[in-house]
Structure 1
Amino acid sequence: MMMNQKEKYLSRNTENKILFCILGFLIAILLCGLVYYWKNDFQNIVVIGKQIAFIFFAVWMFLFLIVTIYFIKMNQLGKSFLVTTKILLDFFINYRYRIAAIVFVILVVLGINFSSLASWETTTYEESHSVIFGQARSIRSDEWLVETPWVLSQYNERFPTVNDDIRVDGQNMLFMSTKTPIEHISTIGNPYNWGYFFLPIEQGYAWHWVLKLLLLLLFSYEFLHIITKESRYVSFVGAFWIAFSPTIAWWFDTSVIEIVIAFQALFIAVFYYFRVSKVYQKILLLVMVVIFGLNFILDLYPAFQIVLGYVFLGLLIYLVIKNYKKLKKQDIIFITLSVFFIIAVVAVTIIPSISDITIMMSTSYPGSRMITGGGMRISDLTRYLYNWLIPFVDVPPETLLNNCIASAYVTFIPASLIIILKSWKEKKYLDNGYLKIFIAFYIVFALWILLPFPELFAKYTLLYMVTPQMSLMGAGLMGVYISCIVISQLNERPGFSKKGIIAFLSILGCYFLLALYFNQAISYLGIIGTSITIIIFLLANYFFIMGKKYAVLIFVCIVSIIPGFFVNPVNVGLAPIKETVLAKSIQEVVKEDPKGLWMGYDSVTLPNYILAEGGKVLNSVHYYPNNRLWAQISNDTNDYTIYNRFAHIQIEFSASEKTKFELVATDHIKITLNVNDLEKLNVKYIVSYNPLEKFNNQNVSFIKQSQNDAGTIFIYQVIYNN
């Protein structure tokens, strides 16, 4: 007994030394940060105050210091590291909504967002110093290049349903109601954009980003808490596992993430509806159903809506079968009214957009699809093996993937299935109906990416609209749910023989090696990196089947959650797109001539930059084609298949050649415009990297209005001489 007490004392003493080392390390970082920001005169920030970068840094370091000191104090009181960690986690879990509210208010007031806005610096040739952590990801162009300019244009025009600044004839914003703020009843289903209506633009933009992250964390916790049967610690780590997974991080601020949030929110609302008795509680839950039901439906991204729509339908049927006897006449009335309200809002949103949706469906790209499954390998189910490196080293082009496509959820499907099969064999069933649903859908999604199916099956199941990539994402999310459920029920006496464990790990190691080989990831990781990756994942699976749940959760933090923190940058404000010399020059012209039509010359980024400053732009991204406009400058039927698509539009001039259209990529067209055809388009202002005076002729003249200090960007006014 005395020996045990001595060992415990030595253990606490060792922990204490380690914690003091960590404390000293954090203090050193804090001092280095102070010196760095002092020497640089706080020049990292140019929007809401020069001290924000320092404050952001100092607050985080202060929190780390407090936590470290807390661990030291608890250690001195005889509390072990594990017990202390549980106490701390209990605090965060018990006060999660209050903590989330405080974090939300602080970050919104400071104007914090996670956009890759700094990618605009390559367009403006100006450094904004808006990034205070991480780096901009140019691959996220759907976010910073397309949707952010749309949002700013909507804000400038006070949220119209048809935005006249986008395209010559205006763009219908109704069926983009989840992407941009619009003054329409459908905005009820887009809580991420509510802040734009009453906050300054920088705070409204922060609201959009911060609320999305916090709701993802909170709903993921509640969802996992239900399906794991109230396993608090697994649910807590699992919430971060989902929110900072490579898939979520690389696809953040897309329809994919909003669909995940809405799917989880709807399940939570339905689950608790059957468990509450007070009328006001039921009404609040149905309000939640209305908001996130609208969000799920109006995201209009069937490739992923269908995936999680099927899963939700399965969960809904399961909940109704278990709880339908609890429903009263009052409940039927409430539910019916809620469903009718959702249908009504969807109708008044979609019906006015039918003609534009029809145009979109008949385009050359994306157009209508007939996908019958298949095209991927079983190795694609383990892309997560090398995802820990992607935030720091881009995926090489020889893999035929980019960082976003290569991203995947970290899961423990092989080990989970081994444990599940063993429990079924021994008739020690994992009593969890949700687990069976998730396994069934995991198998369906996995089969869809691996095998081709009959066209008739694809058509009548609606899977013809589901790409293998979206099915892979669905399988990955199911894999996380399955893993969390199994982890929550792990015990440290699983009953596996040593031979069985060695056999399992040997087979799994060979599979991991082959998967990395077929995914062309060995050259990406290198021999040493490949070896370390396989060893670490095998070790994690060993802990998994041995029932070491806390070791498994620590592993998840290291290989999934921590790398996820490094994917998206942390920014303050909108400096790269609102505070540059180019931005202010465009804003001045727009203020004097708000109706003048603009064009970005020989660039796919300049047109969208102009749009963000309030200009009416000819060639900003066309979400659906303006075929009548392009028919004015081309009567060649072959050109129709080129411009009849969602497109980034690059325009350059020719002094003598006939106007022609060229397809650069599936979503990128290039127009070589005869300069005399410019009058047909009625362009009045042009932003260009190149001098345009050489195109002056008897019909058209280009008058330079301004240029940047380096003489690399010019604003021209177009004068027609006829």
Structure 2
Amino acid sequence: MENSKKRSTGIGEILYRFRYLIIVVVFAVSGFLELSGSSISMWEDFIGIQSQSGDGDLFGQARMIRSDEWAVNTPMAFSQYFAKDGSFPYFSETLRGAKTDAFIVYGQPVLSWEVIFRPFQWGYLLFAPARGLSFFWCGRFLALLMISFELGMYLFNRRKSYAVAYSALLSLSPVVQWWFAINGLVEMLVFGQAVLLIVSAYFNQRQYWKKILLALGLAWCGGCYILVFYPPWQIPLGYVFLFLLIGITAKEYKKDLWCWKKDIPVILGALLILGIAMGAIVCKSWNTIQTVMNTAYPGTRSFAGGGALRKLFNWAQGILYPFMEPAFGGTNVCEEASVISFFPLGILVGLWVLIKEKKRDAMLISLLTGTVFLTAYCVLPWPEILAKATLLSNCQPDRVVLAVGFISLILLLYASVISEKAPGKAAVGIVGVFFAGGTMVFLYKSLPELYVAKRQVAAVCVILTVSLILVGILWYKWKSTVFAWGCIVLAVLNGAFVNPIHKGVDVIYTNPLVQAVAAEADSDDKQGLWIVENIGFPCINIPIMTGAPTINCTNTYPVLERWKKLDSTGIYEDTYNRYVHIFMQLKEDGETVFENPQTAPDHLNITLPAKELKTLNVKHILTNRDLSEFESDNVKFKLKNQVGNYRIYDVITRE
């Protein structure tokens, strides 16, 4: 037994000692093999024509519900390779078939200095699409895994087992995995945690040339965080990092290592550089920012908190999501996903350490304050003036749940590490039984549609039981290795099966339809505008993956001047002034009609008279029907190619 323990410890020490080398090797091998977690194999199902090289999925299940990734973000990234005015432009003419800011919205790779703040996009600039996609996926996951481990080592007194547990629970949390490639969540967690480590290092550094480098690193991480541009998560996570920063400052500030006359200019200089960089980007993208803020959707929304109590406990049922239908009870797995936080055990343990053990620890107090503050916004409606003053009015309470889970997990681990007088085991056991039972009943009553079989109830009961045992092991400091392995298993069951392991991008670029579109787009050097007719989302984004400028691909913000040509009275402006996936259908004559489906504010249906093709300057059409019935003296259609049920037409218009 002793020899086995020594071998285990030895392996752990080797992994720790060579952790960076291991990460680099894993990253390089993953890139060489073109591995990612993308669900782009879904394209084969929607196109309905098999690719020549198969779907590329090696393990797991592609997720149709993650269409923001495989049907929008990934095609937009690929479109940058084939832009007619040079690879990776800041302003693309492929997207929307008009000058489109590719950097500030959806954060696509651009060959410009601004991309320094988007390091996970660098792979697209260096490699072909398959390895660029792998760089994006694997780089972000490995970075989150490692930076979380390093912060865990710092926060939890260099206890490797707790740092490993924290890193696994955060990196493989359902909310991270279900939202992995969208809205910059991983970037926020990576660069926010990096800022904390840089600040702690700065406070402990004597040499000013190193302090200057750290300050520049701080400015860079700040820019990476800011440019995510997703306030519903940025703001609450910003509060988490602020409360952690307060605790770190209280812990690390040392008079003999801090000189106001020297350190303030260093910090201000770094902030000045950051401000100049951000100001330059904002100026460059100002028109885009203004347009997005003035859309009818998403536009400028306001919230006042409350109504998200149930979701604070969703960590207990995340194990169900990868193995069930994505939609249930008017919600879906993505909206229900959360951090594996053990909420509210962090608050309970923290209060015990603060009140019963009388530990006046600055980090503990700051973490408790932050957890209660953010929890209050999720649970209770706030006065409008308070919500706006704290900027949380920009955040749906359901989105703030992520931040509560994140800070709750850190609070639980930190409070347990510094605790010295845990309560009696019998009392804790009784409380634990009532907690597990109460949580199970609460979850079942709140969302019965999720529990359609007894095995689902049993699975959540097991997770709750295991979670309480792990918290007990943590608090009483029994076997830290058992705690770490238990957390790893728990994290794997919750998150490792969410995204597939996918190889390459041949599922797209060996598809006969995509190849036919590419050939037609190349025939006029990608000069002619396209529309996708009578085919809905996601197929509206097929042409952009070949560099074909497409009017009705997903419009991340509206081309108002274009639609106003078809809507001279402006009666439809609220309908098309939004982020939309556009379904376009031709008719013989009449007026153009714009319509938003009531259940989908991000969809737009346009019924377009054939004569208006000239108004829009359309040169090519991808459709699934014969367009000859819409011909007139002024509009003719020339069939250029047919692949299965799909047809590609050239449009010929006359005065």
Structure-1 separation of matches of 2:431 and 2:239: 36
State the match for 1:98 in structure 2: 21
Deviation at 1:507, TM superposition (A): 4.0
Q: Is the 8 A contact 2:311 2:398 kept in 1?
A: no
Q: 2:515 aligns with which of 584, 594, 600?
A: 584
State the match for 2:550 in structure 1: 617
Q: 2:114 aligns with which of 169, 186, 205?
A: 186
Q: 1:348 aligns with which of 263, 280, 305?
A: 280
State the match for 2:442 in structure 1: 514
- SS for the counterpart of 1:697 is coil
Distance 1:478 1:677, change over 3 A: same
State the match for 2:100 in structure 1: 171
Deviation at 1:115, TM superposition (A): 1.2
Q: Is the 8 A contact 1:409 1:476 kept in 2?
A: yes
Distance 1:453 1:414, change over 3 A: closer
- Looking at both structures, which has the greater relative contact order when contacts are Cα pairs under 8 Å and sequence separation is at least 6? 2
Q: Is the 8 A contact 1:189 1:290 kept in 2?
A: no
State the match for 2:146 in structure 1: 218
Distance 1:406 1:170, change over 3 A: same
State the match for 1:337 in structure 2: 269
Q: Verify: 1:236 aligned to 2:164, yes or no.
A: yes
Distance 1:433 1:229, change over 3 A: farther
- SS for the counterpart of 1:363 is coil
Distance 1:680 1:606, change over 3 A: same
- Kindly report the root-mean-square deviation, in angstroms, between the aligned alpha carbons of the 2 structures: 2.2
Q: 2:74 aligns with which of 139, 143, 148?
A: 148
Distance 1:211 1:432, change over 3 A: farther
Q: 1:681 aligns with which of 616, 620, 626?
A: 616
More displaced stretch, 435-444 vs 237-246: 435-444
- SS for the counterpart of 2:404 is helix
State the match for 2:322 in structure 1: 391
Amino acid at match of 2:574: T
- SS for the counterpart of 1:387 is helix
Q: Verify: 1:559 aligned to 2:490, yes or no.
A: yes
Distance 1:688 1:238, change over 3 A: same
Deviation at 1:638, TM superposition (A): 2.9
Q: Verify: 1:198 aligned to 2:126, yes or no.
A: yes
Deviation at 1:501, TM superposition (A): 2.4
Q: 2:331 aligns with which of 392, 401, 413?
A: 401
Q: Deviations over 1:527-549 (max 9, x none)?
A: 34313422441343145235245
Show the 5 A alignment for 1:270-289. Answer: 270-279=199-208, 281-289=210-218
Amino acid at match of 1:185: W
Q: Is the 8 A contact 1:234 1:487 kept in 2?
A: no
Structure-2 separation of matches of 1:417 and 1:310: 17
Deviation at 1:561, TM superposition (A): 2.5
Deviation at 1:381, TM superposition (A): 1.0
Structure-2 separation of matches of 1:686 and 1:640: 25
State the match for 1:643 in structure 2: 576
- SS for the counterpart of 2:341 is coil
Q: Deviations over 1:665-696 (max 9, x none)?
A: 11000001111211111111111122222222
Distance 1:239 1:266, change over 3 A: same
Structure-2 separation of matches of 1:607 and 1:460: 41
Q: Is the 8 A contact 2:328 2:449 kept in 1?
A: no
Distance 1:435 1:370, change over 3 A: same
Q: 1:717 aligns with which of 646, 650, 655?
A: 650
Structure-1 separation of matches of 2:463 and 2:236: 31
- SS for the counterpart of 2:622 is strand
State the match for 1:246 in structure 2: 174
Deviation at 1:361, TM superposition (A): 1.1
Distance 1:114 1:522, change over 3 A: closer
Structure 1 length normalisation: TM-score?
A: 0.84
State the match for 2:3 in structure 1: 79
Distance 1:640 1:366, change over 3 A: same
Distance 1:181 1:563, change over 3 A: same
Deviation at 1:427, TM superposition (A): 2.7
Q: Is the 8 A contact 2:350 2:412 kept in 1?
A: no
Structure 2 length normalisation: TM-score?
A: 0.92
Q: 2:37 aligns with which of 101, 106, 114?
A: 114
Structure-2 separation of matches of 1:560 and 1:513: 23
Identical counterparts, % of pairs: 26
Show the 5 A alignment for 1:408-557. Answer: 408-427=338-357, 429=359, 432-489=361-418, 494-499=422-427, 501-520=429-448, 523-524=451-452, 526-545=453-472, 547=476, 548=478, 549-557=480-488
Q: Is the 8 A contact 1:155 1:181 kept in 2?
A: no
Structure-2 separation of matches of 1:257 and 1:461: 24
Deviation at 1:83, TM superposition (A): 4.1
State the match for 1:227 in structure 2: 155
Q: Is the 8 A contact 2:248 2:363 kept in 1?
A: no
Q: Deviations over 1:75-109 (max 9, x none)?
A: xxx523x4433332222222111111111111112
State the match for 2:293 in structure 1: 361
What are structure 1's unaligned runs of at least 5 residues?
A: 1-11, 13-77
Q: 1:371 aligns with which of 288, 303, 311?
A: 303
Distance 1:482 1:273, change over 3 A: same
Deviation at 1:369, TM superposition (A): 1.4
Distance 1:600 1:287, change over 3 A: same
State the match for 1:573 in structure 2: 504
Deviation at 1:319, TM superposition (A): 3.6
Amino acid at match of 1:268: L
- SS for the counterpart of 1:637 is coil
State the match for 2:197 in structure 1: 268
Deviation at 1:396, TM superposition (A): 4.1
Q: Deviations over 1:503-530 (max 9, x none)?
A: 4422441232222321225534x23431
Amino acid at match of 2:94: D
Deviation at 1:222, TM superposition (A): 0.9
Which structure has the greater CA radius of gyration?
Answer: 1
Q: Is the 8 A contact 1:587 1:613 kept in 2?
A: yes
Distance 1:499 1:324, change over 3 A: closer
Distance 1:180 1:572, change over 3 A: same
Deviation at 1:180, TM superposition (A): 0.9
Q: Is the 8 A contact 1:265 1:288 kept in 2?
A: no
State the match for 1:54 in structure 2: none
Q: Deviations over 1:230-272 (max 9, x none)?
A: 1111101221211111111001022122111111111111111
Deviation at 1:641, TM superposition (A): 0.9
State the match for 2:230 in structure 1: 301
What are structure 2's unaligned runs of at least 5 residues?
A: none
Distance 1:424 1:338, change over 3 A: closer
Deviation at 1:500, TM superposition (A): 5.0
State the match for 2:592 in structure 1: 659
Q: Deviations over 1:324-376 (max 9, x none)?
A: 63223444333222211111110110112222211211111011112111122
Distance 1:418 1:318, change over 3 A: closer
Deviation at 1:497, TM superposition (A): 4.9
Structure-1 separation of matches of 2:350 and 2:292: 46
Distance 1:439 1:425, change over 3 A: closer
Q: Verify: 1:596 aligned to 2:596, yes or no.
A: no
Deviation at 1:489, TM superposition (A): 4.9
Structure-2 separation of matches of 1:341 and 1:692: 56
State the match for 1:697 in structure 2: 632
